[in-house]
Amino acid sequence: MLEVRDLVVNYGEAAALRGVSLHVAAGTTASLIGSNGAGKSTLVKALLGMQPVASGQILLEGEDITRRSAADRPALGMAIAPEGRRLFKEMTVRDNLRLGLHHPAARRRSDDGIELALDLFPILRKRSRQLCGTMSGGEQQMVALGRALVSRPRLLVLDEPSLGLAPIVVAQVFDVIETIAAQDVTVLLAEQNMHRALGLSEHGYVLADGQIVLEGTGEELLRSDRVRSAYLGEQ
Amino acid sequence: MFHASRPAVRGLALSAAAGLLLTACGGVVKDDKSADDRVADIPDAELVAPIAGMECTEGTPPTGEPIVVGGSLSLTGPLAPTGTLHDEVADLVVDWVNDCGGIDGRPLEWKVIDDQSTPATVTSNYERLIGDKVDFVMGPYGGAATLAGAGPVTRAGYAYPTATNGAPDKLIGENHFPAWQMGGVDDPERMFDAQAQTLLDALESSGNPPESAFFATAKFPTTLSYRGSVVAALEGAGTTIEGDVEYDLGTTDFSSIAIRIQNADPDLVYLGGIGADVTNLYQAFDAIGYEPRSIYVSLPAPAAVAALGDKADGMMISSIYEDNPPLGDTPVARYFTKAYSEVAQKDDLFPFVETQAAASLAAWQILLTGMTEGGLDNAAVIAWLNAHEVDTVVGTLNFDGFNNYGIDINRVAQVQDGKRVLVWPEDVAGAELDYNP
Amino acid sequence: MSVSSLALAQTLLNGALLGCLFGSIALGLSVKWGHLGVADFFHLSLTLLGAYLTYSLVTELLWDPFLTLAVTVPAFFVVGVGVQYLFHLIDAQPFTTLLITFALFIVTESVVSMIWSPDLLNLRPLLADGFTTSIRLPDPLPRLAVQPIDLVALVCAALMVGLATYALRSTRAGRAVQAMRQDAAIAETLGVRVLPLTLAVSGLAAATAAVAGMVVSLRMPLTPTLPLQWIGVVVVATMLGGLGRPLGALVAAVVLMMIQNAWSLWFPPQWAPAVTFGVLFLFLALQPLTRLARERITSGRTA
């Protein structure tokens, strides 16, 4: 489904990604874990065409999309719930969801996408006219997930969906992600919260200093001492 | 990218329909008698010398070192409409003098610098001209600019002829030679009294002086001082002042003032306005369907009055010159009227001679007379002009009173049958004032 | 001075109708400022250019004033696109765009003076009576007079602001414009093509200046310095109405002009423009209070 080959991204002189390669099989969930500054967000941005790539390739179902613009992502069947949610806060829940269907290709694929999202997050149905800026963090995350899901993407990229949320809300968010992952969607989940992320992933990649330092199945990585010591702070 | 939704299309169709509907109830009508035709009607005139003491030797082009006259004018900015007119007259006079063989056989040259309607720039412009050693200077347009230029010009010992100095009460000195003479008194406090008296006399000459008046005046030194004198004169004659408001220079929305006037419905509306104020006031009158019983306007842009068409008929205007006998019926006036109409029309300016263009020519006549009679030297020009009278297109002037204002030449003009004509005082009037509010 | 209620009603009506014209001018400024981040003073110059072009087409080619829109609207759309494309090419920051549009504002005045002369130009004498003769409201209503030209201003303002508001709120493109302003990068990942959309918005905003310019040419005598007289009301209305909210700007312009006019009825008219800025000052001074109140209310609701 998604294949990344030797991806290099530079911020000016500094290298942010130094030859990252990974593979996410269709219908599976892969997590990308690593500490803050490891390069997770850069990789996500590069995947979405928001960050110029110095070298390497991004392939989606064999098609090279490395140089395609960000605005083409919906046509390729990609969607994102970005770090920090980044909702359009001065707009209503419904308008945010509608924007998930802005691209004609997204509408063709999923003309009932908004209903789908509202079914998945019943609370949003009641709040559909509320301005997003006035909602709690957890609710906003629901909208962000909904906005990404309305277009029924083939590849869903979730960037730090639990960041800044209260533990009880984090649990809810992961429950939802688990529901999504159980469907026929390919998910790439970039997370600091390794336990939950690896727990629901078929495969995981550990990113450090712009490189993949470890990979394996979710269970393998959870058991790995190196991962535990490096990223979970457990001795 | 832009998806025109169906309601948007409906909106567009609706607006198009509304447009067509409005078109049906009004459109454009072309004037049958345009200004172009009236310019063509101005009779040809023979080339004569622009001043009394000068010979016109046509066909002998002047030679040698040019005599350079420098000046600062507002060619851009808010004062540009009138500033440009003065530049036009300067060019015309220079060509005129050179067509007549120049001064002492030498060509005259006009060197103008734009002051962008900013008094501070006027000062530096004259410093620059004097630094460039121009032979003479001509004053700028407007009171503030005149005062701003007076410093460097007076210090350098130059004669300072001015066309329309709107601040006559601010002393400049013995080198100041105003063409638009107001006052003719020794007391600077009473500079505008004669002008106010002229208006009062004109109104009384009709036999129907106004019983009530409403004043609306722009915040501009000249208009305010003049308004003060007129209020005093009218009150002295028993007229009730129904209202007296001031508005900012450049105001375009007169709707509240118009309503106040409508409310008072006075015999006389006094508009101490300049430029386009009169157009905007009439626009506001139109909007409420009011017609003033009578109106007097102090310093309107000539094009603004002309553009009012029939509505301007009967309007009284402060003036020092209109194209009517006796002042307009001299060989110099006839030549100037014809020549000015041609150049002004070419440059899209109001093509008929009235106060501004006449004052501009008069200022040049003062300077040229000083140069030919006194000599090509500023001290000699100043000395000669202070001791003599000068015949100009606006009348015979002298420089004896306060600030060198020898007499008061303010007159009252009226629009009659679409044409401006002087109606008071009697010695310059081309018609009688038609006044019955 | 005593003022009849009829005079007050008339003055308020006149103010409201003139406010419609200023609201039409503020429309483009508000949209560009609010949604593209360009405080576009050149928009006022475009309005002036629109007025002069209308004047020339009407006086020289004897076109119907409304027909001139067929030329000016597309032409201004192109100009709007061009200016915005220039900003894109040089990757202009908001302050740079402010400087550029202000420079264009100054230059336009000189250019207009050069082309059309600094003299007063008035279309009114050429207009048929149907345009210029005031109509009185029919009998049960108060005997107020309305100029047909002001009705044109009202219709144009209502149509343009109505369409703009509807388009921004309820069309896909309008939502995309709002989204782009709030977070362009994320909007792009949703398929919003920022550059074409920006160019289109700029072009449409400029096109509204053509319509407002036509109304100006019918409504008032033209001089190159007119924009200097509009700038106070238009900018204050844009800010009071909320950047990017055409309806807010229109309402603010109407209210401002009504206040100005009512003020001039009782107080010295020369202070009327200062009233506009007084209202802005009050608005800015009260803003922290209203924000506090709003936060109280919102927190009360969500708690």
- Measured CA to CA, the distance from residue A117 to residue A143 in angstroms comes to 9
Domain total for chain B?
2
Q: For residue A225, how far is the Cα from the chain centroid? A: 26
pLDDT single digits (tens) B315-326 = 999 999 999 999
At residue B8, the pLDDT reads: 43
Is residue C190 scored above 90 in pLDDT? Answer: yes
Residue B395 has pLDDT above 60, yes or no: yes
Q: Is it the case that residue B264 has pLDDT exceeding 90?
A: yes
**Token pair of A174 as six digits:** 């992961």
Point out which residues pair with B412 in neighbouring strands: B318, B424
> pLDDT digits over A83-136, tens only?
999 999 999 999 999 999 999 999 998 888 899 889 888 889 999 999 999 999
Residue A39 makes CB contacts below 8 A (sequence gap 6+) with A9, A16, A17, A20, A207, A209, A210, A211
User: pLDDT tens across B218-250, in order?
Assistant: 987 778 888 999 999 999 999 999 999 998 877
B148 and B286 part of one domain: no
Clarify whether residues B178 and B71 are in a common domain. yes
- Name the residue among C130, C173, C221 with its Cβ closest to that of B280: C221
- Angle, helices C5-36 vs B255-264, to 10°: value is 180
Residues 133-162 of C with CB under 8 A from B: 133-134, 136, 145-148, 150-152, 155, 159, 162
Closest Cβ–Cβ partner in A82, A103, A105 for C186: A82
Please state, in angstroms and rounded to a whole number, the distance separating the CA atoms of residues A129 and A97.
11
Q: What are phi and psi of C199, to 5 degrees?
A: -60, -40
- Tens of pLDDT, residues B59-75: 889 999 999 999 999 98
In a domain, C233, yes or no: no
The dihedral over CA atoms of A219, A221, A223, A226, expressed in degrees to the nearest 10, equals 180
**Tokens representing B340?**
């000015």
Could you report the per-residue pLDDT of B148-158, keeping only the tens digit for each? 999 999 999 99
Q: Which two tokens stand for residue C255?
A: 């209210």
- What's the pLDDT at B135? 97
C257 at the B interface (CB within 8 A)?
Answer: yes
Q: Please report whether residue B117 resides in a domain.
A: yes
Which residue is listed with tokens 């081309």?
B430
Residue C175: strand, helix, or coil: helix
Are B237 and B157 part of one and the same domain? no
Which one of C188, C264, C267 would you mutate to disrupt binding with B, by most B Cβ within 10 Å of its Cβ?
A: C264
> Which chain C positions have a beta carbon within 8 Å of A77's beta carbon?
none
Quick one: pLDDT at residue B21? Answer: 42
Q: Quick one: A1-77+182-235 is in which CATH superfamily?
A: P-loop containing nucleotide triphosphate hydrolases (3.40.50.300)
Contact C58, B28 (CB under 8 A): yes
Q: A89 and C187 in contact by Cβ < 8 A? A: no
CB C261 within 8 A of CB B287: no
Identify whether C5 is part of a domain.
Answer: no
Residue indicated by tokens 């929305």: B253
Note whether B261 and B338 are same-domain residues.
no
Q: Tell me, what's the ipTM?
A: 0.89
Residues B97 and B171 in one domain: yes
| Interchain contact A134–C (C-beta under 8 A) | yes
pLDDT for residue C214: 96
C170 touches chain A (CB under 8 A): no
Q: Is B163 exposed, middle or buried (0-12, 13-18, 19+ CB in 10 A)?
A: buried
- Work out the percent of chain C whose per-residue pLDDT is above 70: 96
Confidence of residue B166 (pLDDT cuts 50, 70, 90): confident
CB contact under 8 A, C182 and A73: no
Q: Is residue B436 part of a domain?
A: no
Q: Could you tell me where the DSSP H helices lie in chain A?
A: 40-47, 73-76, 93-99, 104-109, 113-120, 122-126, 137-149, 167-182, 194-199, 218-223, 225-231
Q: Which subunits sit against C, judged by 3+ Cβ pairs under 8 A?
A: A, B
Average pLDDT over residues B396-407: 94
Give pLDDT tens digits for A182-217. 888 999 999 888 888 888 899 999 998 899 998 999
- What sign for the dihedral angle of Cα B334, B340, B345, B351? negative
State whether residue C184 is helix, strand or coil.
Answer: helix
A71 neighbourhood in chain C, CB within 8 Å: 188-189, 191-194
**Per-residue pLDDT, B250:** 74
The answer to whether the Cβ–Cβ distance between A103 and C182 falls below 8 Å is no
Structure confidence at residue B29 as a pLDDT band (50, 70, 90): low
Q: Give the CB-side neighbour count of residue B48, counting CA atoms within 13 A.
A: 16
List pLDDT tens digits, range C275-298: 888 888 888 888 888 777 766 765
Q: Is C187 in the A-facing interface, judged by CB distances under 8 Å?
A: yes
Q: Calculate what percentage of chain A has a pLDDT beyond 90.
A: 62
What Å distances lie between residue A182 and A143, A145, A186, A221, B284, CA to CA?
Answer: 20, 15, 10, 21, 73
- Cβ separation of C166 and B76 shorter than 8 Å? no
Has residue C219 been placed in a domain? Answer: yes
**B418 and B312 inside one domain:** yes
Are the beta carbons of C192 and A102 closer than 8 angstroms?
Answer: yes
Q: Is residue C198 domain-resident?
A: yes
- For chain A positions 80-119, those within 8 Å of chain C (CB to CB) are 80, 82, 86, 88-91, 95, 98-100, 102-106
* Domain CATH for B387: 3.40.50.2300
List the single range of A16-20, B56-60, B299-303, C107-111 with lowest mean pLDDT: B299-303
Residues of chain A with Cβ-Cβ distance to C191 below 8 Å are 71-75, 102-106
Give domain status of residue B38, yes or no.
no
Q: C190 — phi, psi (to 5°)?
A: -90, 0
Q: Is B375 exposed, middle or buried (0-12, 13-18, 19+ CB in 10 A)?
A: middle
Task: Say yes or no to pLDDT of B15 above 50.
Answer: no
pLDDT at B2: 39
> What pLDDT digit, counting tens, does each position of C111-142 carry?
998 898 777 788 887 888 777 788 888 877 77
Q: What is the pLDDT of residues A53-86, one digit of tens each?
A: 999 999 999 999 999 999 999 999 999 999 999 9
Domain that holds residue B221: 195-322+413-428
Which residues of chain B have a CB within 8 Å of the CB of C3? 260, 263
Does position A35 have pLDDT exceeding 90, yes or no?
Answer: no
pLDDT score, position B251: 80
Contact A49 C189 (CB under 8 A): yes
**Confidence (pLDDT) at C302:** 43
- Alpha carbon of residue B203 to chain centroid: 22
Is residue B215 located within the same domain as residue B340?
no
Give me the total of CB pairs closer than 8 Å, taking one residue from chain A and one from chain C. 70
DSSP B182-225: ---SS-GGGTTHHHHHHHHHHHHHTT---SEEEEEEES-HHHHH
Residue ranges per structural domain of chain A: 1-77+182-235
Q: Are residues B108 and B227 in the same domain?
A: no
Give residues 61 to 90 of C whose Cβ lies within 8 Å of B.
62-67, 69
pLDDT at B249: 77
Bigger pLDDT: C64 vs C301: C64
Name the helix (H) or strand (E) containing B130.
Answer: helix B119-131
Locate C168 and state its tokens: 């921004």
Q: Is B49 a domain residue?
A: no
Please, which pLDDT band fits residue B117 given cuts at 50, 70 and 90?
confident
User: Which chain A residues touch C173 with a CB distance below 8 Å?
Assistant: none
Q: Assess whether B417 and B286 both reside in one domain.
A: yes
Q: How many domains does chain C have?
A: 1
Greatest Cα pair distance, chain C, in angstroms, is 67
Using 50, 70 and 90 to split pLDDT, how confident is the model at A232? Answer: low
Instruction: Examine the pLDDT at A178 and tell me if it is beyond 70.
Output: yes
Write out pLDDT tens, residues C16-74: 999 999 999 999 999 999 999 999 999 999 999 999 999 999 999 989 999 999 999 99
Do residues B261 and B335 share a domain? no
Question: Cβ of C228 and B250 within 8 Å?
Answer: yes
Cα A26 to chain centroid, rounded: 15
Q: Record the tokens describing residue A221, joined without a space.
A: 């990585």
